[in-house]
Structure 1
Amino acid sequence: MDTNQPLTLPPLYVFEGHRPVIHPGAFVAPTAAVIGQVTVGEGSNIWYHCVLRGDTNTITIGARTNIQDGTIIHVNAGRQCTTIGDDVTVGHAAIIHACTLKDRAFVGMGATVLDDAIIEEGGVLAAGSVLPPGKVIGAMELWMGNPAKLVRVLTAEQRAGFDRTAPHYVELAGRHRRSLGGG
């Protein structure tokens, strides 16, 4: 196996004159598709087989955020963009649609966040849950179910476990970049 294969550039697609803006310190896996009005901040990482489609509105992702494998992020045409803050974790195969995930929000694997929903700073949506349109997960709250409902407010100690994910993925993205030949 060739350990010095060249870095495959991620598929970044211009849509109607809008080119994705990816910080040079971000990692976008070569099988992800980033389309149109998408901005990805420093240290953030977009993993394999993700689709970020900013065709009819904007998607903005802050710093050190991880969007894990198979996640779909989209917008609502002309009405609602998608805004994702710093140090956010979005688990594998999630659907993030026309919503706001504030700093340190955590969305579990296979979860769905729908139009106009908000996850406040440090809020957590459990794996497999569906956050209905317009619902708000408060700071440090854990919600789960379909439709998602408040389960409890997390202690600082409980929330600290979730906070280890973002730095782990920043480090892991660097290893993937080096392994793929991108320095």
Structure 2
Amino acid sequence: MTEISRPDITIAAIHGKVPRIHESAFIAPGCRIIGDVEIGPEASIWYNCVIRGDVNRIVIGARTNVQDGTVIHCDSPKPQRPEGHATIIGADCLIGHMAMLHGCRLEDRAFVGLGAVVMDGSVIESDGMLAGGAMLTGKRIGAGQLWMGRPAKFARDLDEATKAANQAGVRGYVQNAKDHAAALRGA
């Protein structure tokens, strides 16, 4: 894990928990990463995201991209749920601009559309997709399913071409992050 020290990024410990960021991850200017947060290899956290692991933990897997303006938080322990809800995001996930994730779990290759909301206890299984603007409240999107609406409801199963396009998007973001990192270094 690497330390990032730039005036345009906040990486801060709280309650003795320090963010752990893989050296190959891209963290764009304007990001705020606080507390018990782990960011995996080649993940990318885009401009002005807030990832706040102050009351529970947050894990972001390898090659996952968290696009501009997204907010990720977690749920604190409560008497009825002593472990609370950590936010666990697998590898190769796409998280669209201005999404909000709170106390949820995304399995590998999950997709969260622009402006979508994923709430406490929700799960998006592998290759599952929550459409842009949708809100998932404590439900589970099955593997390879598309859910839409507020509240989100099952729309259809995804075809293989859509799943492949999503993974091409992941690969594109890994390269795009390298290009932005080089540009910010002035290379």
CA distance in 1 between counterparts of 2:171 and 2:159 reads: 20
Structure 1 residue 147 corresponds to structure 2 residue 151:
yes
- Kindly indicate whether the alpha-carbon contact (under 8 Å) linking 2:8 and 2:30 is maintained by their aligned counterparts in 1: no
What letter matches 1:37 in structure 2?
D
Match in the other structure for 1:100: 105
User: TM-score under structure 2 normalisation?
Assistant: 0.91
Letter in 2 for 1:99: C
Q: How does 1:30-179 map to 2 (within 5 A)?
A: 30-78=29-77, 79-133=84-138, 135-179=139-183
Cα distance in structure 2, aligned partners of 1:158 and 1:71: 23
Question: Residue 61 of structure 1 contacts residue 86 of structure 1 at CA under 8 Å; is this kept in 2?
Answer: yes
Superposition deviation, residue 165 in structure 1: 1.2
**SS of the residue 1:35 aligns to:** strand
Distance 2:99 2:143 in 1: 20
Q: Distance in 1 between matches of 2:141 and 2:41?
A: 26
Q: Is the contact between residue 74 and residue 98 of structure 1 (CA under 8 Å) also seen in structure 2?
A: yes
Tell me, in whole angstroms, the C-alpha distance in 1 between the residues paired with 2:162 and 2:181.
Answer: 31
Alpha-carbon distance between aligned partners in 2 of 1:65 and 1:158, rounded to the nearest angstrom: 17
Q: Which residue of 1 aligns with 2:3?
A: none
Shift of 1:8: 5.8
For structure 2, the residue ranges without an aligned partner over 5 or more in a row are: 1-5, 78-83
Quick one: distance in 1 between partners of 2:162 and 2:171? 17
C-alpha displacement at 1:10, in angstroms? 2.9
Aligned length: 176
**Contact 2:119/2:136 (<8 A) preserved:** yes
Deviations 1:123-162 (A, max 9, x none): 00000000012x0000000000000000000111222111
CA RMSD, Structure 1 to Structure 2 (Å): 1.3
Q: Report the secondary structure of 1:180's partner residue.
A: helix
Give the 4+ runs in structure 1 shifted more than 6 A. none
Residue in structure 2 matched with residue 17 of structure 1 by the alignment:
16
Distance 1:182 1:55, change over 3 A: farther
Letter in 2 for 1:143: W
Write the letter of the residue equivalent to 2:140: V
List runs of 5+ in structure 1 lacking aligned partners: 1-6
Instruction: Normalising by structure 1, report the TM-score.
Output: 0.93
